[in-house]
Structure 1
Amino acid sequence: MSAPSRILVYGVYGAGKSTLAAVLADRLRLPWHPVDDLLWQPGWVEVPVAEQRSRIIAVCRGDRWILDGAYHGWRDVPLDRADLVVALDYPRWRSFGRLLRRTLRRLVTGEEICNGNRESLGSVLSRDSVLLWHISAFGRARRRMRAWQADPSGPPVVLFRSPTELSRWLAALPRR
């Protein structure tokens, strides 16, 4: 397989999308555009969906990019331009466990997530908690990844069900 130039990394919250996007960006020397940076303003103010879409269109017009997610108001944009979708279809226990550990670490350390935003106990315990998003979005994300993989009209999808499978694929991926 030749090295792709436009990659969408997809998976449920906590699967490791951003971590993988950073690895791919380094390995393939591609610009990575963290989706959270494009969607959230300081104070956890969400960028309006029309502006999100404009930002994603601007990224995807380029010939070289990596995005670490795709959401309802603009998911079609990277799918129409991607050379490859890398889908992390890990079991719920694995992705939720990773998400829980990451969330707890961020609460303790005060680590910045994007644009000055940080996790807070209030956000974790709210109805908009990333932990609740995981629970409600898991099945839909899984069905979406599998449908993309089965659709011959879309970009190629490599779907990984374990970190071991992903590690093997990364080891065989050509470097730039």
Structure 2
Amino acid sequence: MSAPRRILVYGVYGAGKTTLAQQLAGRLGLPWYPVDDQLWLPGWVEVPVEQQRSRIEAICRRDTWILDGAYHGWRDVPLARADLVVGLDYPRWLSFWRLLRRTMRRLVTGEVICNGNRESLGSVLSRDSILLWHVGAFGRARRRMRAWQSDPAVPPVLLFQSPAALDAWLAGLPSAAAGLPPDRPAQNAG
């Protein structure tokens, strides 16, 4: 396999998709397009799904990109163009803990997330809480990643079941996009 030029990072909320996408962009010299910037307008107004799809299609027509997620109305778009899918298939407790810790930090610091948006106590305690989304989405995300890995119609999928396994893989990546495994892995990484 030649060095990937189009990478989809996938996992449940809180797994570390954005952090990994940033690391890969820096390491491989590829442009990263934060998915949340494509989905949310200021004031947490959701971009209509048709417009989300159009935005993602425009990104995926480019020669190089990294996306840090893929959602229901347009998941097929990056899958059809990606050279590599990197799946963060961590245990539920780990991704939930990371999400809880990140959410609490954002509440305390008022950190800007995307397009000027911030998390609030009201949003965390609402029916649309990202913490509840994690609980509902975890099993689906895991099944989806694992199905992709065994589907020859999908680009190669590297699944990492621990941060240590991911770190070891990242450490082995030379700068400027070289050194990825030549074939689809037969086993999960980690």
TM-score band (shorter)? over 0.9
The answer as to whether partners of 1:106 and 1:118 remain within 8 angstroms in 2 is yes
What secondary structure does 2:113 align onto?
strand
How far apart are 1:129 and its partner, in Å? 0.2
Distance (whole Å) between structure 1 residues aligned to residue 25 and residue 160 of structure 2: 18
Partner of 1:140: 140
Instruction: Tell whether 2:144 aligns with 1:162.
Output: no
Q: In the alignment, what sits opposite 1:52?
A: 52
Deviation at 1:172, TM superposition (A): 1.3
How many residue pairs were aligned?
Answer: 176
In 2, Cα distance between the equivalents of 1:27 and 1:4?
12
In structure 1, the partner of 2:86 is 86
**Residues 3 and 173, structure 1, Cα contact 8 Å, conserved in 2:** no
Equivalences for residues 83-122 of structure 1 within 5 A: 83-122=83-122
CA contact (8 A) 1:40 1:114 kept: yes
Helix, strand or coil at the partner of 2:13: coil
Q: Does 1:29 align with 2:64?
A: no
Look up the SS of the partner of 1:43 in the other structure: coil
Output the amino acid matched with 1:63. D
Greater share of helix residues, 1 or 2?
Answer: 1
How far does residue 150 in structure 1 lie from its aligned partner after superposition?
0.5
SS of corresponding position for 1:117: coil
The unaligned stretches of length 5 or more in structure 1 are none
Task: Name the structure 2 match of 1:70.
Answer: 70
TM-superposed CA distance for 1:152, in Å, is: 1.0
Residues 104-138 of structure 1 show CA distances to partners (whole Å, capped at 9, x for unaligned) of: 00000000000010000000000000000000000
The answer as to 2:4 corresponding to 1:4 is yes
| Cα distance in 2 for residues equivalent to 1:71 and 1:154 | 16
Q: Distance in 2 between matches of 1:99 and 1:2?
A: 34
Unaligned runs of 5+ in 2: 177-190
Percent identity reads: 80
Q: Give the residue type in structure 1 aligned to 2:150.
A: A
State the alpha-carbon separation in 1 of the partners of residues 2 and 101 from structure 2. 35
Amino acid at match of 2:56: I
Report the Cα distance in structure 2 between the residues aligned to 1:119 and 1:103, rounded to whole angstroms.
Answer: 7
Alignment RMSD (CA, Å): 0.7
Contact 1:25–1:66 (CA<8 Å) still a contact in 2? yes
How big is the shift at 1:174? 2.7
